[in-house]
Amino acid sequence: MPEWRKDSVVDRWVAVSTERAKRPTDYRPPLERKKAERCPLCVGHESDTPPEVMSFRNPGSFPDQPGWWVRVVPNKFPACRVEEENVVRGVGPYYWRCGVGAHEVIVETPEHVDNLVDQSERQVAEVIWAWRARLLDLRRDPRFHYIQIFKNKGSVAGASLEHAHSQLVALPMVPAEIQAELAGARRYREEKGRCVFCDLWSYELQVGERVVEENSEFLAFVPYAARFPFEMWLVPKRHEPDFGTIGEQEVRALASILRSCLRRLAQTVFDPPYNLLLHTAPVNVLEPVDYHWHIEILPRLTIMAGFELGTGYYINPTPPEMAAAALREATAEERKVSPFV
């Protein structure tokens, strides 16, 4: 029978519709857009992007030239700009502020592929190092209070280019979703004296039915109140609010489990479009935060309709236990890997 499940971090309910339960074979990825003839993110097309702000490249090569294996550039069509002033004004009953911020694109590989699953573990680790480097650099600007790192894979998930890339947006405010998670973590700590995320990964590991994969540093599992079919969370076992503190051992472990989980997802439900979100603590805030950074992988296999938009609740047609079992059974076979790293 259908059931309601409550997210233990935020006050959000999810309807798990077991009566309309969908198995992996019931899903087919939506049709993607026709590929562009010239990709601005490919090697040799560096002049098609704004000048790079950072890159990992071969010794002797020059900025905005070939020789890189990860490259970071400003978004050509940014949602916000560093040059803007941080001004807030009242306009009648409303508030207005300048579009201050930073919007960058992390080009994840020189190869023209649309996913990280075909890249080497070392290449995925290099992408994670790039995320960390840009977060640590941008947080030095006191105007910014949150840095959102995310990846859109597939046009249905919002990607306008098929070349594998992720993005970063530095914001002058803390997003409502993160505020809700911070409040939930604080409330849980006050009630139980423990971190809710630490309790989540510990309980999931104990129960086992929603676990996808584990290594020495991370647990990957389908959350109890998953909003989307085959949604996965990657939670570090070490309690740490700030992704910026990640070290070499954790980067290697995260690269391994992230690459493996994306491969399992691709093999289980036909390489679907997805959104990857890195949730971390706010920056440049005075008060300490009670948080635990983590990554959420949200496959785009269903469409949000009137109920979801009207209530903020989700209907998940695949029980998390069924999704986790299918993901565990998926093989982690090696396919081709990048020759660049």
Instruction: Please say if 165 is a catalytic residue.
Output: yes
**Which listed residue (165, 279, 292, 294) is catalytic?**
165
Give the type of residue at 29: P
Task: Determine the Cα–Cα distance for residues 278 and 146; give it in Å rounded to an integer.
Answer: 11
12 with 6: CB under 8 angstroms?
A: yes
**HSE, side-chain direction, 13 A CA sphere, residue 193:** 0
Which residues lie across from 16 on neighbouring strands? 3, 316
C-alpha dihedral sign at 111, 112, 116, 119: negative
Rg (the chain; Cα; Å) = 20
Exposed, middle or buried, 70 (CB in 10 Å: 0-12/13-18/19+)?
A: buried
Give the type of residue at 309: L
Tell me which DSSP letter residue 117 carries: T
Neighbours of 94 (CB within 10 A): 7
Which residues lie across from 297 on neighbouring strands? 232, 276
Residue in this structure with the two tokens 């604080």, named with its chain if needed: 186
Known catalytic residues are 165
